[in-house]
A = this chain, B = another copy of it.
């Protein structure tokens, strides 16, 4: 309505014609995505035929080949691989977790998995008393009292936060830094309540970072339901032992690739807009939402623009980043080469929050760029994109910040993400076709606007 009113007021001016053209083009983009879209069938293949794609794994290698071929089949102007060495962590045999209530002679199996990057316990496992803490402050107060024990980090994601990413942000340091924090005081291992929104039976893996100069101790996630059970038991009886066994190990770095495809710009071919997701995934599920969705949506953006016959002024690239989950090597390599090759990126868009219904975009950029993007809201709101208020980009595009690139994150509905994230449940059947397609169209619409008007 706002657009129409403006049009009447300044009838037949250039601006008005331009708005009409934008409305028409954006409508065409959505029509293409919803009637002839290929994002869903691409994701079906990536999830069900290739499956999990942890860096260095055969799945990751297959995904590199597949995405290269997918972009070639979609007739992009050029498609190439960007070599990058990646960490190569392997889980090995399935982990074992048992709560031992020795006084009662009871052993209860609990659902655990090793955190990504963790050292293994080896075949003998670790048996030790467990000490529960909710924060690093609480751990520091206990200090040497945790020596020789397993530290159980049990702080849940805050369910009252409407944005589940904020809840995740408030709990995830237990997973990423808990092992080294506990190692400071001589703990033998850590067990972390899974980063899950709800009570679930499956554990959530995810990366940890060992601090330099501290012992590397084995780290596990435990399902939220079993975490609650354990917390409850610890109220009843102080002395509980836990048995943990994992066989994971870190091998030599392995060769891998970012996969890049582009459509060359006509007027400002040196100005590059990238749209990407990460091709690697954790090993427990299929990486359907995280981040198969972002990958196929990124390919789909260029495919839609190409099949519409749209000739971009600027160069548009789809980038499948490798190794977001446990190293970010792909994102770092991409930025390194962009600098080395003196490439001028004007915008980087990442989709890495799942293939859910679009709500808006996050933007990390200077004020005038943010305002320019926000000024497009009337064109995008009819498609459900109404939230342009948050800052943020994405992990893989983060390293481009140094070059002053506007970083943009695709922002879908966040409610279901942390029921699936990094688990065996992140499978293709959890993806809704329309939700996925709307995401691809939303990103294509934004790419179109950036291409047409620039960001300055």
CB proximity to B under 8 Å, residues A408-456: 413, 415-416, 419, 432-435, 438
B383 close to A386 (CB less than 8 A): no
Tell me, in angstroms, the Cα distance from A162 to B441 when the chains sit together: 11
Q: List B contacts of A357 (CB < 8 A).
A: 357, 413, 415
Q: Does A231 contact B (CB under 8 A)?
A: no
Per-position 1/0 for A32-66, Cβ under 8 A of B: 00110000000000000000000000000000000
Q: List B contacts of A198 (CB < 8 A).
A: 433-434
Copies of this subunit: 2
Tell me, in angstroms, the Cα distance from A162 to B164 when the chains sit together: 25
Give the distance to chain B from A68, nearest Cβ to Cβ, in Å.
28
CB contact between A419 and one of B35, B197, B432 (< 8 Å): that residue: B432
CB proximity to B under 8 Å, residues A188-245: 197-198
Q: List B contacts of A359 (CB < 8 A).
A: 384
Nearest to A418 among chain B residues (CB) is B434
Q: List B contacts of A432 (CB < 8 A).
A: 415-416, 419
Tell me, in angstroms, the Cα distance from A386 to B162 when the chains sit together: 14
Q: List B contacts of A30 (CB < 8 A).
A: 160, 162
CB proximity to B under 8 Å, residues A391-415: 413, 415
Q: List B contacts of A336 (CB < 8 A).
A: none
Q: Does A169 contact B (CB under 8 A)?
A: no
Highest count of chain B CB atoms <10 Å: which of A35, A164, A357, A415: A415
A197 close to B162 (CB less than 8 A): no
Q: Does A378 contact B (CB under 8 A)?
A: no
Q: Does A382 contact B (CB under 8 A)?
A: yes
Q: Does A255 contact B (CB under 8 A)?
A: no
Q: List B contacts of A387 (CB < 8 A).
A: 386
Q: List B contacts of A164 (CB < 8 A).
A: 434
Q: List B contacts of A34 (CB < 8 A).
A: 159-160
User: With A357-B415, A432-B419, A435-B416 as given contacts, are A31 and B382 in contact (CB-CB < 8 Å)?
Assistant: no
Q: List B contacts of A197 (CB < 8 A).
A: 433-434
CB proximity to B under 8 Å, residues A109-164: 159-160, 162, 164
CB contact between A31 and one of B35, B160, B383, B433 (< 8 Å): that residue: B160
User: With A198-B433, A357-B357, A432-B419 as given contacts, are A162 and B438 in contact (CB-CB < 8 Å)?
Assistant: yes
Nearest to A387 among chain B residues (CB) is B386
Tell me, in angstroms, the Cα distance from A195 to B374 when the chains sit together: 36
Nearest to A419 among chain B residues (CB) is B432
Tell me, in angstroms, the Cα distance from A388 to B218 when the chains sit together: 51
Give the distance to chain B from A222, nearest Cβ to Cβ, in Å.
20
Give the distance to chain B from A141, nearest Cβ to Cβ, in Å.
27
Tell me, in angstroms, the Cα distance from A147 to B415 when the chains sit together: 52
List residues of A whose CB falls within 8 A of some B CB: 30-31, 34-35, 159-160, 162, 164, 197-198, 357, 359, 382-384, 386-387, 413, 415-416, 419, 432-435, 438
A416-B434, A416-B435 known, 6 other contacts, Cβ within 8 Å: A35-B159, A197-B434, A357-B357, A415-B432, A415-B434, A419-B432
8 residue pairs from A and B, CB less than 8 Å apart: A34-B159, A35-B159, A159-B434, A164-B434, A197-B433, A359-B384, A415-B435, A416-B435
| Cβ-closest 10 pairs across A and B | A34-B159, A415-B434, A31-B160, A415-B435, A357-B413, A416-B432, A34-B160, A386-B386, A198-B433, A357-B415
